Structure 1
Amino acid sequence: MQVSENKVVSIHYTLTNDAGEVIDTSVGRAPLSYLHGAGNLIPGLEKALEGKACGDHIDVSLAPEEAYGQRDEALIQVVPKSTFEGIEEIEPGMQFQAQTPAGRQILTVVEVYDDEVVIDGNHPLAGETLHFSVEITEVREATEEELAHGHAH
């Protein structure tokens, strides 16, 4: 069975950056399962897996436009420190989830001043070329429930 829309696909992957550093991997864990065509993977990786089958192995490099996009300087903002009410220590590198008009977004603290905090709404991998090594471990028909929910169970 080939990877195509509305199939549940399970993969083992290793993600590296241009320097060859491992950013993420499923090796040593359960494979990642997703509903193909539902937008649950970055577009370039989903496209690269289209038409492949269980047992196939691919290596693919994705430009930022095929992954998390280019960095957008407009997503870097200065907000009042009071925005982080209830959090005693705010440090650069901390990440928070915020509800935005576009949905949930990860915000990274860049700098902390006496009364203000600089936050970055770009995805941490925005602007990066990503290198994936992927092994397809299973391809199956999605259940009605998975199709209704838009993701693999």
Structure 2
Amino acid sequence: MTVEEKTVVSIRYKMENSKGEVLEDIFEGLPISYLHGKGSILPSLEQELTGLNEGDEKKIFLSKENGFQDLDDDFHILVVIDKVRYASDEELKNGINPPLPDDYCGPDGCC
């Protein structure tokens, strides 16, 4: 399935700076999911992922030259698309991680 608006996309990634230092790496862990086309991630990153398919891998470069004026270094993110599916009507309305109710207590009993 292809990454497009109104899809839930599960990704894993590794982010490095221009020195090759790993800033964040969830490549070996569980993927994170987001609702594509709803501003859940950086718009330029979302644009780079549009049109990719499950199993695709892409290296994305972030720098001042390509629109990230606030960066003080160049970065790249290696992204793997793990899964793509159409979002449900409920997810389109409330997002894939809707806010918890005010009276929610976590699994460990802490509120």
TM-score by length of structure 1 reads 0.57
Unaligned runs of 5+ in 2: 99-111
Three-state SS of the structure 2 residue aligned to 1:58 is strand
Deviation per CA, 1:43-79: give whole Å up to 9, x if none: 2211110000001011111124645x41xxxxxxxxx
d(CA) in 2 for partners of 1:33, 1:152: 9
CA contact (8 A) 1:37 1:46 kept: yes
Where in structure 1 are there 5+ consecutive unaligned residues?
71-125
Residues 38-77 of structure 1 mapped to structure 2, 5 A cutoff: 38-64=38-64, 66-67=67-68, 69-70=69-70
Q: d(CA) in 1 for partners of 2:95 and 2:72?
A: 28
Aligned partner of 2:10: which letter? S
1:5 is aligned with what amino acid?
E
Length, aligned pairs only? 97
* Structure number with higher strand proportion: 1
Give 1:32 shift: 1.2
CA–CA distance in structure 2, aligned partners of residues 152 and 136 of structure 1? 19
Question: 77, 95, 100: which one pairs with 1:132?
Answer: 77
Bigger radius of gyration among the two: 1
Output the CA distance in 2 between the equivalents of 1:140 and 1:34. 11
**Partner SS, residue 11 of structure 1:** strand
Identity %: 38
The CA RMSD over aligned residues, in Å, is 1.8
* SS of residue in 2 equivalent to 1:136: strand
Superposition TM-score, scaled by structure 2 size: 0.77
Alignment of 1:3-152 (within 5 A): 3-64=3-64, 66-67=67-68, 69-70=69-70, 126-151=71-96
CA distance in 1, matches of 2:32, 2:76: 17
